[in-house]
């Protein structure tokens, strides 16, 4: 039924384009990517069991690079049986903001796979070039798990360089099989699944006598089994087993999927950065031994090549000369580090960290000697005095120098600060969150810009309103504490151009 609905939709669209243009040739130039917005999104999605939607911004460089590949993929997939629909939504359009918020769009481009009329939502985690998009989506539109009936089936499905999950069953029915298929559907964007009646068909495996989930992997012990088919237990088993004892960060793209899982995990993250061309052999085994010893202690371990991880040094505000460098970062953002570490020091330093004997490393820019611009500069070392101990009403922006939204907001904050320049009780300030550590227990900074307001009496509020001069001034006036002796001047009000999609975060 759905195929007929979609085929009719395509034919009507092409016919309409021909009528409007007066030329059959114009129909051939119709874009294959379906344009959706707040007015037609729900109605369109509800009619389809599978649709891919890109949320984009016209100014986004990544979106511009993706556009021709996405269009090419849409053209190829339109002839797939059944057709695979690719669509796009301008999330920068004010009218589509509620739609973008509903789908938790936090950067551009964000691509979602919507199934069953939009009732099931998955993140698109595939390639960004046309052929890769096509191959990835063909797998996604088929069954979540493929039956393995022969050794040839196994050879065609299982890539020994990637994780593959197989359910082995005496029959394809019962609670275990139903739970397996439900899990495969839930995690199909992350892993490839198969199911079989005969474990002997699976490479690198042993026979089993009862329903078994076998996770094949290209690292560590090669495969692991679980016989607990309770869904949450299976999901936990896969999550823990799919990360290497030591995740490698180098130039090999095969390792990149494991990097994503490493950084998305909830554990403390130990990261050892060395020069692979010089120090790889000296550190590799000793670090892996420590990782094996402590991986059950809530720490995940990463081994990085300094030539491939220079952005990490920039992020942490450190120098390449400090390598070999071991950093442990907690989930709350606290960091602990040991620069110029020796291989024999790794085990003892990690133990000291677990015993609470290592002090956190707090990064801060120098406190500026001159700070006379309308928007004041706050660094980590001055945060306490400037914001918490000043007795002032402080609007504080957390920003990144490369952030486009922050650049748009900067002149507006200058105007706000100038408006309050005769009010000694109000401070407008900014904090470079890429050069200074943000106290995560106080400020929740997940993207840029993030703006907080702390009143003179200590009330801490997050500002999520429109990024216009008028709205920001109104917010400050509403929430500021005015000391009884104050004779401050009421700030002027002026129209200012708002920033569209201000709740959307820049990609990190």
Whose structure tokens read 């994503």? Answer: 260
Band of pLDDT at residue 17, cut at 50, 70 and 90: very low
Structural domain contains residue 362? no
Domain match, 435 and 398 both: yes
Both structure tokens of 387:
């914001």
pLDDT at 18 over 60: no
Structural domain contains residue 134? yes
**For residue 297, what pLDDT is reported?**
87
- Domains in the chain, number: 4
Domain match, 149 and 121 both: no
Structural domain contains residue 472? yes
pLDDT at 496 over 70: no
Note if the pTM is more than 0.75.
Answer: no
Please say whether the beta carbons of 436 and 365 come within 8 A: yes
Structural domain contains residue 123? yes
pLDDT tens figures, 229-252: 999 999 999 988 988 999 999 998
> What proportion of the chain, given as a percentage, has pLDDT over 90?
66
**For residue 111, what pLDDT is reported?**
96
Which residues, other chains included, contact 275 with Cβ-Cβ below 8 Å and sequence gap of 6+? 305, 306, 307, 323, 324
Mean pLDDT of 252-258: 85
**For residue 261, what pLDDT is reported?**
83
pLDDT at 385 over 60: yes
Mean pLDDT of 493-501: 29
Band of pLDDT at residue 13, cut at 50, 70 and 90: very low
Q: Where are the beta strands (DSSP E) in 372-506?
A: 376-377, 393-399, 426-432, 450-454, 460-463
Structural domain contains residue 484? no
Boundary (domain end) residue, out of 241, 274, 308: 241
Active site residues: 60, 63, 403, 406
CA distance 359 to 303: 22
pLDDT at 255 over 80: yes
Mean pLDDT of 311-323: 85
CA distance 500 to 95: 10
pLDDT tens figures, 73-110: 999 999 888 889 999 999 999 999 999 999 999 889 99
Domain that holds residue 69: 31-141
What is the domain-level CATH number for residue 308?
Answer: 3.40.30.10
Q: How many CB atoms sit inside 10 A of residue 304's CB?
A: 22
Boundary (domain end) residue, out of 241, 263, 282: 241
Whose structure tokens read 């003179």? Answer: 456
**For residue 167, what pLDDT is reported?**
96
**For residue 6, what pLDDT is reported?**
33
H-state helical runs in 317-373: 346-354
């Amino acid at each position: 039924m759905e195929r007929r609905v979609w085929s009719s939709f395509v034919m009507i669209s092409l016919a309409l384009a021909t009528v409007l243009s007066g030329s059959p040739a114009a129909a051939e130039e119709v874009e294959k990517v379906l344009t959706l917005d707040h007015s037609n999104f729900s109605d369109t999605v509800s009619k389809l069991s599978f649709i891919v939607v890109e949320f984009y911004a016209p100014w986004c460089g990544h979106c511009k690079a993706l556009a021709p590949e996405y269009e090419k993929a849409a053209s190829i997939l339109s002839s797939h049986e059944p057709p695979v629909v690719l669509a796009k939504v301008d999330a920068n359009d004010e009218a589509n903001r509620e739609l973008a918020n509903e789908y938790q769009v936090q950067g551009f481009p964000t691509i979602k796979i919507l199934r069953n009329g939009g009732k099931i939502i998955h993140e698109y985690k595939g390639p960004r070039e046309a052929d890769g998009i096509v191959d990835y989506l063909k797998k996604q539109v088929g069954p979540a798990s493929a039956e393995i009936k022969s050794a040839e089936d196994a050879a065609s499905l299982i890539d020994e360089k990637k994780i593959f999950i197989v359910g082995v069953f005496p029959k394809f029915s019962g609670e275990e099989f139903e739970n397996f298929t439900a899990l495969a559907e839930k995690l199909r964007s992350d892993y490839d699944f198969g199911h079989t009646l005969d474990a002997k068909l699976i490479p690198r495996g042993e026979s089993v006598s009862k329903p078994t989930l076998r996770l094949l992997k290209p690292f560590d012990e090669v495969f692991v089994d679980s016989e607990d088919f309770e869904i949450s237990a299976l999901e936990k088993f896969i999550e823990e087993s799919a990360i290497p004892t030591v995740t490698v960060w180098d130039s090999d793209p095969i390792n990149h999927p494991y990097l994503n899982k490493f950084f998305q995990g909830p554990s403390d993250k130990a990261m050892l950065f060395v020069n692979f061309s010089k120090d790889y052999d000296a550190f590799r085994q000793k670090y892996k031994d420590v990782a094996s010893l402590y991986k059950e202690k809530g720490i995940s371990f990463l081994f990085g090549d300094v030539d491939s991880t220079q952005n990490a040094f920039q992020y942490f505000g450190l120098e390449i000369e400090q390598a070999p460098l071991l950093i442990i970062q907690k989930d709350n953002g606290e960091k602990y580090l040991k620069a110029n570490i020796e291989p024999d020091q790794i085990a003892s330093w990690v133990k000291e960290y677990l015993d609470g004997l290592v002090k956190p490393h707090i990064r801060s820019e120098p406190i500026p000697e001159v700070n006379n611009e309308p928007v004041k500069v706050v660094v980590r070392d001055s945060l306490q005095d400037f914001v918490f101990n000043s007795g002032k009403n402080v609007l504080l922006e957390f920003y990144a120098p490369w952030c486009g939204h922050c650049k748009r907001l900067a002149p507006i904050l200058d105007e706000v600060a100038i408006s309050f320049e005769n009010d000694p009780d109000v401070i407008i300030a900014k904090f470079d969150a890429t050069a200074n550590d943000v106290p995560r227990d106080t400020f929740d900074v997940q993207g840029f810009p993030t703006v907080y307001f702390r009143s003179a009496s200590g009330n801490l509020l997050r500002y999520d309103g429109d990024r216009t001069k008028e709205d920001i001034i109104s917010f400050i006036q509403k929430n500021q504490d005015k000391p009884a002796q104050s004779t401050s001047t009421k700030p002027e009000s002026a129209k200012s151009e708002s920033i569209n999609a201000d709740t959307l975060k820049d990609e990190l």
